[in-house]
Amino acid sequence: MRVDLFDFELPPERIALRPASPRDSARLLGVRTEGPFTDAVVRDLPSLLRAGDVLVFNDTRVIPAQLEGEVGNARIGATLHKRIDLRRWQAFVRNGRRLKPGVVVAFGAGVTAVAEERFADGSWTLAFGGEEPVEVLLERAGRMPLPPYIAGKRAVDERDREDYQTMFAAKDGAVAAPTASLHFTPELMAALAGAGIGHETLTLHVGAGTFLPVKADDTDDHAMHAEWGRIEPETAARLNAVRAAGGRIIAVGTTSLRLLESAADEARVIHPFAGDTSIFITPGYRFRAIDGLMTNFHLPKSTLMMLVSALMGLERMKEAYAYAIANEYRFYSYGDSSLLIP
């Protein structure tokens, strides 16, 4: 499909620069394939779902993956994208023409890395020096990797270290938050449990590729970056049992959805999973694992706009986004959310 079909105009003032407070006070737009849209708030979720449903969250934890360094007198910016092993990461590099294999980049606070290999997409392998875990080095020298549409409007600050982390964050490795989960609080989780709505967690380490624009004119020509994920055998078994009992599987965030769909077969059975996925979901895709999705509002012409259009239909999502803009919903990572149930 043509990428420009997924375009829309968003007034700049609709881009949220801070999250709602408290988190579960964010607005929630209800979207079905037919019928009127419904306006709610996230804390209304227990009344919007059914007993026996299960919400699936991503328990990845965002690391301070943006680094500023020097090579000689030149400034280098690096955004870690994907872990290769204990000391090596693939990274997108600003001013990367200054790098050559073997060059050492000094990131300050005693943190250095050797540029090893350049990939076809312009990213580099960075091998961090020393014996301390890379996560410790990043806490010392890195900053939270806020999306460009936020970082371009204000400075990243200490508040973002908490704001850009979900209550489920447990496993280090993401360079972008699974933002639909930012809206949840312990109080909301208790209310959901009281309404008979369960939850499960999986892990997908979101990469910096999630921020990259689609440069192709046609979706068939776009290559997705791979991300690493895991679904434990016990989790897969419980999710299959939910569906067998008539419950619905509601993915919280496109990251949870993409991993669930990567793990499901044609019979809609979810299998254990551990490895990379580069699944790219566009209209025409037949969903196997999920029955609904809670997700924030996405960028024009993005792979995530394509994903929600695959679930609900392109025209329906254009109508929903037009409604959200007209009714002053807040967009993107720190913005409001939507509940999409075909």
1-11 tens-digit pLDDT: 999 999 999 99
Q: Are residues 211 and 93 in the same domain?
A: no
Q: Are residues 86 and 46 in the same domain?
A: no
Of 324 and 151, the one with more pLDDT: 324
CATH of the domain at 73: 2.40.10.240
Residues in contact with 222: Cβ distance below 8 Å, sequence separation at least 6, in sequence order: 3, 214, 215, 216, 280, 303
Q: Are residues 204 and 325 in the same domain?
A: yes
Q: Examine residue 216 and state whether it is found in any structural domain, yes or no.
A: yes
Q: Are residues 38 and 169 in the same domain?
A: yes
Q: Are residues 284 and 321 in the same domain?
A: yes
Torsion (CA) 216, 218, 221, 224 in degrees, nearest 10: 70
Total-model pTM: 0.94
Domain carrying residue 89? 66-143
> Rounded mean pLDDT of 199-212?
86
Q: Are residues 115 and 211 in the same domain?
A: no
The whole-number pLDDT of residue 121 equals 82
The whole-number pLDDT of residue 211 equals 65
Q: Examine residue 156 and state whether it is found in any structural domain, yes or no.
A: no
Q: What is the pLDDT of residues 84-137, one digit of tens each?
A: 999 999 999 999 888 999 999 999 999 999 999 999 888 999 999 999 999 999
**287-to-125, 150, 258, 337 alpha-carbon distances in Å:** 35, 32, 10, 21
Q: Examine residue 40 and state whether it is found in any structural domain, yes or no.
A: yes
Burial class (CB in 10 A: 0-12, 13-18, 19+), 145: buried
CATH of the domain at 173: 3.40.1780.10
Grade residue 213 by pLDDT with cuts at 50, 70 and 90.
confident
Residues in contact with 24: Cβ distance below 8 Å, sequence separation at least 6, in sequence order: 41, 42, 43, 183, 184, 185, 187, 188
